[in-house]
Amino acid sequence: MKSARGGLLKGILRCPVCGGETTEDGSTIACLSCGTAYGETDGLPDLIPPDASSLKLSEREHYSENVDYYLEMHSTWCGSPFYRHYHRSFLANFRSLPAGSLILETGCGLGHDGLELLRAGYRVIETDIAPGQLAQARELHLAAGYADVSAHLLADAERLPFASASLDGALAVASLHHLPDPLVALGEMRRVLRPGGMLVLGTEPNNWQNRTIYPVGKAFLKAVRCVKGGPVGGEEMVSEADKLTEGFSAPQLASLLREAGFGAIELQPAGYLSAAVFFLSTELSQMVGRPLRLFPLERVFIPLDEILGKLPLFSRYPWHWNAAARAIA
Ligand SMILES: [Zn+2]
């Protein structure tokens, strides 16, 4: 466990059930207040509260069981100009933090954004609810030589196992909309950030697409399934939380951030036409069962999307949101 934790967690691990201080005995972490004991899953410290909801357990299972599918998808995504441009954009929000700052990523998945933070000189704590994904993230970071500056543990984003005001930055990429109560998760990230600490959200869906394009897309896939028979490509690869999500409008996201205790809130539009092409190529790839890449088209649209994001009406209706905000004391 020591090699995975790299000493970053020294003194800041708290019980996710009661917030009490913890003690370690071998591979067990125990709460000094309520006595709850936390063991390991697949060699990863498991700080997920024992009473996790069935939705969380279903997410844990979905993302762990389908890790090969997500690895394959990422191998296509990481070459996408849309994906690269907007991931670089949200990570750039951390530039004001000095090297060596301690950044938490919740819902880290396969750990590729965390790797970029490590390359930029930050110390990184990665948490996820799915052991299958987190194990991949740990492998990625250890293989790149970041064992001493990274830590990986299983945790619930709505009940973070860290002391208040113990971190400099927090990142959540395309994960806030998977949570039953985004306000609770944002409140937890605010709590663990020191006053003035930086929160960054990456590629959270805007809600208009969930009301327009996605239902049309789903109906289309259903029609194809009727003709073809059986599931269509990645159709079955949608997690329970993804089925429930609505995404966020600009006023909703800004108000959630304010209510959770953040200031200096900046909503950053992340993609219009380039995002639509990315979405279309992902869906088509799944339908035909092989990667269809429309990268040149994405590349052409990115500069146009950057201009659209600065126009008054358009700025409220990007495909996704990136966001940056500061924790208020
Ligand atoms: Zn406790």
pLDDT, tens digit, 9 for 90 and up, residues 173-228: 999 988 889 999 999 999 999 999 999 999 999 988 777 777 777 777 677 767 76
Question: pLDDT (tens digit, 9 = 90+) per residue, 229-246?
Answer: 665 555 556 666 666 677
* Ligand 1 center–CA 16 separation, angstroms: 7
Mention every residue, 6+ apart, whose C-beta is less than 8 A from residue 159: 16, 17, 49, 188
Question: pLDDT (tens digit, 9 = 90+) per residue, 123-139?
Answer: 999 999 999 999 999 99
pLDDT for residue 2: 45
* Ligand 1 center–CA 156 separation, angstroms: 15
Mention every residue, 6+ apart, whose C-beta is less than 8 A from residue 60: 48, 52, 129, 130, 131
* Ligand 1 center–CA 159 separation, angstroms: 12
* Ligand 1 center–CA 23 separation, angstroms: 11
Backbone conformation region of residue 40, classed left if phi is above 0, alpha if psi is from -120 to 50, else beta: beta
Token pair of 70, please? 């997500």
Q: Are strands 167-173 and 193-205 parallel, antiparallel or unpaired?
A: parallel
* Ligand 1 center–CA 46 separation, angstroms: 14
* Ligand 1 center–CA 160 separation, angstroms: 12
* Ligand 1 center–CA 293 separation, angstroms: 49
Give the C-alpha separation, 137 to 300, whole Å: 32
* Ligand 1 center–CA 33 separation, angstroms: 5
Residue 34 Cα to chain centre, angstroms: 30
309 neighbors 261 (Cβ within 8 angstroms): no
Is 0.75 topped by the overall pTM? yes
* Ligand 1 center–CA 43 separation, angstroms: 22
Which candidate, 135, 174, 182, 137, places its Cα nearest to that of 282?
174
300 neighbors 253 (Cβ within 8 angstroms): no
The crossing angle, in degrees rounded to 10, of helices 273-288 and 67-77 is 130
Residues of the chain above pLDDT 90, percent: 68
15 neighbors 33 (Cβ within 8 angstroms): yes
**Region 53-327: CATH code:** 3.40.50.150
Which candidate, 144, 143, 151, places its Cα nearest to that of 123?
151
